[in-house]
């Protein structure tokens, strides 16, 4: 069975491949364009992208939207995480939080899937805190400044297997896997 992962980020496709490959899925990376709407929730963004991609007859596919929600910044960057990363980056986030003792944050992920003509979404979340400075060379995006609850290392300092087991996307992919098992 083939499942296309729609993303411009090859790292995301790799995470899906590692998690779903054992279920007999052939994971194919596809970089299809989707206009990300300005929305309040990840779910709204995902549903909009799915409706834009539906007419392209891509077969079975999945896509996700993820965001870093920082409590001290009122949830910013949230649904605008990709834009914030490309404009102000990690250093910009750290500057915004300079001197702030409240460091709690969470990563959230919403995956939309079109499988055998049915569409559904699943979600995952990982709570943690923002580090005082970047650490680690792995991962992507804001991984070097996010320390998940119960750990002392950032996502960027963890092996991909450890990160995938606890991350927002890893948890959403686990939920996707469970949902797909019931449909195969």
pTM score:
0.91
Q: Is 98 a catalytic residue?
A: no
pLDDT value at position 38? 81
Catalytic residue among 33, 35, 60, 65: 65
Residues 135-181: tens digit of each pLDDT? 999 888 999 999 999 999 999 999 988 998 999 999 999 999 999 98
pLDDT value at position 138? 87
Domain that holds residue 42: 2-181
Alpha carbon distance 182, 48 (integer Å): 25
Of 84, 87, 54, give the one whose Cα is nearest residue 66: 84
pLDDT value at position 102? 96
For residue 142, the domain's CATH number is: 3.90.950.10
Question: Is residue 11 pLDDT above 80, yes or no?
Answer: no
Domain count for the chain = 1
User: Residue 110 burial (CB < 10 Å; 0-12/13-18/19+)?
Assistant: buried
Residue 36 binned pLDDT confidence (cut-offs 50, 70, 90):
confident
């Amino acid at each position: 069975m083939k499942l296309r992962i729609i993303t411009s980020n090859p790292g995301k496709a790799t995470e899906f491949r590692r998690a779903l490959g054992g279920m007999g899925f052939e994971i194919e990376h596809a970089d299809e364009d989707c206009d990300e709407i300005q929305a309040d929730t990840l779910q709204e963004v995902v549903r909009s992208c799915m409706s834009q991609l539906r007419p392209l007859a891509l077969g079975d596919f999945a896509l996700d939207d993820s965001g870093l929600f920082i409590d001290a910044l009122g949830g910013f960057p949230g649904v605008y995480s990709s834009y914030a990363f490309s404009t102000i980056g990690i250093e910009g986030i750290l500057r915004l939080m300079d001197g702030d003792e409240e460091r709690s944050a969470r990563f959230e992920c919403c995956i939309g899937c079109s499988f055998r003509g049915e569409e559904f979404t699943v979600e995952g979340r990982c709570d943690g805190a923002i580090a005082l400075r970047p650490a680690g060379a792995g991962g992507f995006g804001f991984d070097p400044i996010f320390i998940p609850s119960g750990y002392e290392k950032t996502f960027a300092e963890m092996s991909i297997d450890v990160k995938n087991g606890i991350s927002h996307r890893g948890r959403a992919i686990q939920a996707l896997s469970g949902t797909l098992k019931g449909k195969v």
